[in-house]
Amino acid sequence: MALDVFPSSAVVRGLRNGSECPHAARTMTLVDLRRLLSICSPSSSRRDYRAAIVDGNVLLKATETGRAKAARFLTEFYALDPTTVVFRALRDLWDVDQRGQPLLALLCAAARDPTLRGTSQVILASRADDAVTPDMLALALEQRYPGRYRASIAAKIGRNSASTWQQSGHLSGKQRKVRCRAVATPGVAAYALLLGHLCGNRGDSMSSTLWAQLTDVPAHELHELVAEASKEGWLELRRSGGVVEVTFRHLLRREGSD
């Protein structure tokens, strides 16, 4: 499946196709998401999240315009809607897997921003301590979507996505960013497999999707994390005669797990 073509069943659950490019204006703003979710309860509605940002100014923005922009971009990256599966599952895992928050945020943002997905192959192809520059990410975006973005926009996306990959733990450094290994957790593994499931993958194929690759662990470690996630009740893992079955009774509780 192409990085920017999701089935309609995935789109209605919050993944996004198309040419949206929130990274042309912002990074995934992990610090804002962390603050918002630490203040708003898991039972908050979409209206509650917007009210907290715009009316309550929980993100401490200096102007009303800044508050409105923060609400818009956080909604683009994460939906902020408990009726949307990709956000509800993120919210379910957020507080119980704090170490996994950077990767949880990255996976959700990548599911909703085609431009971030367009830069992912640079990250995945890099080895430890390889330099990764905004120009490399902008070039990858142009190669992925020829002619879609002006050079100035692609350059801005390259800079912002480099910051996002640093926030997620895939890159480190200030002036010179280099590849490092992100911190994967059982919650991250559960969320990655859920995204693959929403895209139509089943069984062993769920361990080779883009989402699984972005967890930044080899297959055998991902399998161990999935087993731990199963023990936590975040998914159900069954193995029989070499066949692997993974279901999501908890994370898909409002619609069934198939």
What are the pLDDT digits (tens) for 48-68? 999 999 999 999 999 999 999
Q: What is the reported pLDDT for 229? A: 97
User: What value does the mean pLDDT take over residues 92-104?
Assistant: 98
pLDDT grade, residue 3 (50/70/90)?
low
User: What value does the mean pLDDT take over residues 169-192?
Assistant: 97
Read off the pTM.
Answer: 0.94
**Distance in angstroms (rounded) separating the CA atoms of residues 240 and 227:** 14
Q: Find tokens 């009774």 and name the residue.
A: 249
Whether 76 shows a pLDDT value over 80: the answer reads yes
Q: pLDDT above 90 covers what percent of the chain?
A: 85
User: What value does the mean pLDDT take over residues 131-153?
Assistant: 94
Whether 177 shows a pLDDT value over 70: the answer reads yes
| pLDDT tens, position by position, 202-257 | 988 888 899 999 999 999 999 999 999 999 999 999 987 778 899 999 999 876 44
Tokens of 45: 């509605």
Give φ, ψ of 116 to 5 degrees: -65, -40
Q: Find tokens 């995935």 and name the residue.
A: 10
Q: What is the reported pLDDT for 104? A: 98
pLDDT grade, residue 258 (50/70/90)?
very low
User: What value does the mean pLDDT take over residues 5-9?
Assistant: 88
Let me know: does 141 contact 115? Beta carbons within 8 Å: yes
Q: pLDDT above 70 covers what percent of the chain?
A: 97
- Mean pLDDT is lowest, of 19-23, 108-112, 174-178, for 19-23
Q: Angle CA(36)–CA(39)–CA(45) in degrees, nearest 5?
A: 75
User: What value does the mean pLDDT take over residues 130-159?
Assistant: 95
**Of 95, 112, 97, which is closest to residue 13 (Cα–Cα)?**
112
